[in-house]
């Protein structure tokens, strides 16, 4: 857990998922960052229109999943439509698989390379004024073929994380350098 911040530290675009009252949803969010080391905290911007936000505000929980290049089209699908407007579950509409965890009621997104289960910190003014949600990370996991012992060791191109610029254009995570 003391190394959970490293899952977001390089600035990837994430999928935000939440569930409440038998409904679940997922969205894409480039505007996220670590907020503290230990206990780990995160900050993420979630628009007032987002159906995922409704579920987060009702449940007080969400999961951040770090999608790899292999999920590029699914991330695009998650980022370009609202669960509010769909007749079907948005995971299914986007070709994404959800999985349950015990730490929070929100589902995680299968096929991602890292996951952070989060509980919202009560800062309603930040949400109202800036669409900003602060949360404590209560559990975190990573695909051990991409991240283990607190270090990323991405070997296959399809495991690289995505860094959205605009309009569906993403940088992928490139080579590592040591300062």
How far apart (Å, rounded) are the C-alpha atoms in residues 27 and 100?
A: 17
Q: Report in angstroms how near the CB of residue 125 gets to its own copies at its nearest.
A: 9
Q: Is 120 in the site for its own copies (CB under 8 A)?
A: no
How far apart (Å, rounded) are the C-alpha atoms in residues 103 and 59?
A: 13
Residue with Cβ nearer its own copies (88 or 169): 169
| Other beta carbons less than 10 A from residue 175's beta carbon | 5
Size of the site for its own copies (CB under 8 A): 48
Structure tokens given for 168: 């569906």
Sequence-ordered list of residues with C-beta below 8 angstroms from that of 49, at least 6 positions apart, any chain: 82, 84
* Out of 30, 70, 86, 138, the residue judged to bind its own copies by CB under 8 A: 30
How far apart (Å, rounded) are the C-alpha atoms in residues 166 and 168?
A: 6
Sequence-ordered list of residues with C-beta below 8 angstroms from that of 39, at least 6 positions apart, any chain: 1, 136, 137
Residue with Cβ nearer its own copies (45 or 86): 45
Residue with Cβ nearer its own copies (2 or 97): 2
Q: Is 98 in the site for its own copies (CB under 8 A)?
A: no
Q: Is 158 in the site for its own copies (CB under 8 A)?
A: no
Closest by alpha carbon to 67, among 24, 119, 7? 7
Which positions from 57 through 86 interact with its own copies, judged by CB under 8 A? 69, 72-73, 75-76
Specify whether the CB–CB gap between 34 and 8 falls below 8 A.
yes
Q: Is 10 in the site for its own copies (CB under 8 A)?
A: yes
* Out of 36, 38, 58, 110, the residue judged to bind its own copies by CB under 8 A: 36
Q: Is 165 in the site for its own copies (CB under 8 A)?
A: yes
Q: Report in angstroms how near the CB of residue 94 gets to its own copies at its nearest.
A: 12
Residue whose tokens read 């991602």:
112
Chain residues in the site for its own copies (CB under 8 A): 3, 6, 9-13, 30-36, 41, 43, 45, 69, 72-73, 75-76, 126, 130-132, 134, 150-152, 160, 162-166, 168-179
């Amino acid at each position: 857990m003391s190394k959970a911040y490293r899952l977001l530290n390089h600035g990837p675009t994430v999928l935000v998922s939440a569930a409440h009252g038998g409904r679940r949803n997922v969205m894409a969010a480039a505007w996220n960052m670590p907020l503290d080391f230990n206990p780990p905290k995160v900050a993420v911007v979630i628009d007032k229109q987002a159906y995922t936000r409704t579920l987060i505000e009702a449940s007080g929980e969400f999961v951040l999943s770090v999608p790899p290049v292999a999920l590029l089209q699914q991330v695009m699908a998650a980022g370009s439509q609202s669960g509010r407007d769909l007749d079907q579950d948005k995971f299914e509409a986007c070709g994404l698989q959800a999985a349950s965890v015990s730490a929070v009621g929100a589902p995680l997104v299968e096929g991602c390379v890292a996951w952070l289960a989060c509980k919202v910190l009560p800062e309603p003014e930040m949400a109202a004024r800036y669409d900003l949600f602060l949360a404590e990370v209560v559990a975190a996991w990573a695909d051990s073929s991409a991240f283990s012992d607190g270090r990323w060791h991405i070997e296959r191109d399809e495991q690289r994380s995505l860094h959205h610029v605009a309009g569906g254009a993403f940088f992928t995570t490139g080579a590592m350098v040591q300062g």
